[in-house]
Amino acid sequence: MNLNKTYDTEVTFNRRWKLLADSTAGLLICLFLYTGIDKLYHQSQFKDALQKSPVLSGYATLLAWSLPTSELFIALLLFMPQTRKYGFKASVVLLSAFTLYLSYMMVFAPKLPCMCAGLLESLSWRMHLALNVVLIVISILGLIACGKRSNDGTRAPPANQG
C-alpha cells in the first residue's frame, strides 16, 4: 500500500473541506457585514419598519440595535477560524428565526413592512424566503465543513510502518 498516496488523498480531502468552510464563511461574512452596516446606517428607517410590524413593534427599539449588532458579531465569529464554528451556528439560528418570522408574516399579515437592506429590497417576499432557506443550507454546509477538517486543514503524515 502506498502510504504517500493515502496521505495525499487525505490532505486533498481536508483542503476541499477547508475551501468549503472558507468559501461559505466568506459569503456569510459579506452578507452579515452588508446587512448589519446598512441597518445601522439607516437606523431610523429600520426602527420605523420594525414598529410597523404587528409582531415586533413592541421590541422595535431593542431590535433596531441588537439585530445589526448580532449580524456584525456573527461576521466577526465567521472571520476568525477559531470561532468560525460558533459563527455558523449563530448564522443558522439568526437566519432560521428570520425565516420563521417571514413565513408567519406571509401567512398572517396582510401587508408586510420591508426591513431589507439595499439590494435585497428588490426581492419579492417569496424570493426572500427562498434566499433565506438557501443561506441556512449554506450555513449548515459550512458548519459540517468545519467539523470535517482538522484545525489547520491538514493532517499529520501517517507513521512509516516498515
- The tens digit of pLDDT for each residue in 33-62 reads 999 999 999 999 999 989 988 888 999 999
| pLDDT computed for residue 122 by the predictor | 74
The answer to whether 91 and 28 have CB atoms below 8 angstroms apart is yes
Residue 136 near residue 24 (C-beta atoms within 8 A): no
Q: Look at residue 157 and tell me whether its pLDDT is greater than 90.
A: no
Place of cell 421590541: 59
pLDDT, residue 133, reads 97
What is the model's pLDDT at position 156?
39
Q: Are 11 and 156 in contact (CB under 8 A)?
A: no
pLDDT tens string 75-114: 999 999 999 999 999 999 999 999 999 899 888 876 776 6
